[in-house]
Chain A
Amino acid sequence: MANNELTNGSLKSYAQLLHSKQISSLELTQAFLQRINQYNPSINAFIALDEDKTLAQARAADARIAIGSAAPLTGIPIAQKDIFCAKGWPTTCGSRMLANFVAPYDAHVISQFDAAGAVNLGKTNMDEFAMGSSNETSYFGGVKNPWSYDRVPGGSSGGSAAAVAARLCAAATGTDTGGSIRQPASLCGFTGLKPTYGVVSRFGMIAFASSLDQAGPMAKSAEDCALMMNVMAGFDERDSTSLDRAKEDYCRDLAKPLAGLKIGLPKEFFAEGLSAEVGQVIENAITEYKKLGAEIVNISLPNTGLSIPVYYVLAPAEASSNLSRYDGVRYGHRAAEYTDLMDMYSKSRAEGFGDEVKRRILIGTYVLSAGYYDAYYLKAQQIRRLIAQDFVEAFKQCDVIMGPAAPSTAFKAGEKVDDPVAMYLQDIYTISTNLAGLPGMSVPAGFAPNQDGPVLPVGLQIIGNYFDEARMLNVAHQYQKVTDWHSLAPNLPEGKA
């Protein structure tokens, strides 16, 4: 079907079709909207659509192309995670607390895409306040993994993940606090990048854990991610942790050969807890890299096991502070009945937040409370430094680090939802890079069989040194030139006619 071919294209191919006037942005956007109408009722990847707004942007893009002032992403429909404020759009962060919130201004990321002439296709589903690894904590319901509808897409960027995998958008944005871009990219079989902390502005991006949150691209290939990064990255004075660095072209190194590349394999990423089938896929990918001329270096990140305990002190501590703003006073959910101010706060927050968000607020409040600060928060910050130093040592021996992005393929919906600790272990390979502030990617590397179901995608994680995104994208792109895992899309069950 022509529509299927069109929605399976690369960002570069869309730009060529648009600039040569073979298609219009309106036609491209309508092709995606049609596909969303067909499949979203079952997948639930998008939680806000506004055809009028979307098509108006497409028309404006066509006008811009007509006068010859198009940029690489002009006219291309992008799905936006519902964590980004987009003026005039509902912005819920997957929570009942913000179910009626319409953003009064644009996040920096959104204004960057607007300036590039990209089309906002809609807002995507996510775990509530980005707290989750399966998208099951969303107030707006779970999201189906397009490869197998009985499985989760991963989280927290589960809606963006399913939208990219099911080709419901040209590309999407996500955010990654402990693995929320890379783990769903692994489980849904596409390419996702979490940049170095501070590279993409957090302005207008609803805060979870401010010292860890970072936005990044979710797309069909490394090259697409590079084009997205060219739009998303850059200094923004409105985010006090935005890094004032010169603008980069993330496509500049894509074509470089990999001969002599030193790949570090941390033994801790291949130890107990990793599914044997996933491990095999990662080994095959490493073999492919050897063929491309890379050298393998065995390394150790001895404090990897501590990253989850440290994260579940620091992230909830920051969250409990960030989420104290939801008090039912000026925006957000307010309880229908209350007696006094304290009662209004307590009822509004009890009703507005879901169970996982409440758990994390309570943990955060506990570890920050009088008498426990040194034992928990300070201790976690000290171990955070040890984890970061492990990477500093490792990067003296290698250029990039590789391993699995997630310990298993996509698990069944409902399987871990009542066991927070089991859910937290999903992020064992991704969390340490957030703590260190390093960039990380997940790249499709094949499929693994499961005892109880279909073969499912596996992501290879690539971790780079600070600001080494261009090199990581190069490393991923060269692999994608000799493999086709990234270009495979799921056969979706019959959608709505």
Chain B
Amino acid sequence: MALSIEDIKKVAHLARIEINENDANATLNKLSGILALIEQMQAVDTRGIVPMSHAQDLSQRLRDDVVSKTNLRDEFQKNAPILGNGSQQPALAGGLYLVPKVIE
């Protein structure tokens, strides 16, 4: 299946990675090589084979629904990114994280 430049742009959008025209062309080249490698799979007859998602086919372990984690908000917020757009402050306000307006 040949990739097009439109495919690259669409996938980059889905992955939320900004990509310019130049990079899209270079990426198309490299990804086409990788997809050609992947295409080798299509020669294999896999009818009736159960997909394998994990090495040990175990069922998911469950735990009791009890509070198990301590509140580490202050600790975690030490890693807040810099707000940007002219501000060198952490993207924090009143224990919350600052992001651009989501709902107009």
Contact = CB atoms under 8 A, between A and B. Distances in A.
A309 B40 contact: yes
Interface in A217-252: 237, 240-241, 243-244
Interface string B31-55: 1011101111110101001111111
Contacts of B27: 358-359, 362
Contact of A104 (B15, B42, B78, B101): B78
A244 B27 CA distance: 43
Contacts of A305: 40
A19 B38 CA distance: 54
A86 B77 CA distance: 17
Interface stretch (A128-136, A158-166, A337-345, A444-452): A337-345
A331 B81 contact: yes
A359 B34 contact: yes
Interface residues of A, number: 77
Interface in B64-99: 72, 75-76, 78-85, 91, 97, 99
Interface in A329-354: 329-350, 353
Interface of A: 100-102, 104-105, 196-198, 211, 237, 240-241, 243-244, 305-306, 308-310, 312-313, 320, 324, 327-350, 353, 358-359, 361-363, 365-367, 369, 375-376, 378-386, 388, 419-421, 424, 436-438, 466
A383 B100 contact: no
Contacts of A347: 18
Contact of A382 (B46, B81, B83): B46
A365 B15 contact: yes
A381 B53 contact: yes
Among all A-B residue pairs, the 4 with the closest Cβ atoms: A437-B55, A381-B51, A334-B81, A385-B52
Given A338-B100, A344-B100, A104 B79 contact: yes
A237 B63 contact: yes
B17 interface: yes
Contact of A198 (B14, B18, B42, B55): B55
B18 A329 contact: no
Interface string B7-27: 110011111111100000001
Contacts of A379: 41-42, 44, 46
A421 B81 contact: no
B102 interface: yes
Interface of A is mostly: helix
Contacts of B80: 330-331
A362 B17 contact: yes
A378 B63 CA distance: 30
B37 A240 contact: no
Given A330-B97, A359-B31, A369-B11, A338 B85 contact: yes
B37 A309 contact: yes
Contacts of B102: 341
Contacts of B1: 375
A211 B37 contact: no
A348 B17 CA distance: 8
A286 to B, nearest CB: 27
Nearest to B47: A382
Contacts of A306: 40-41, 44
B54 A362 contact: no
A366 B18 contact: no
Contact of A337 (B8, B55, B79, B85): B85
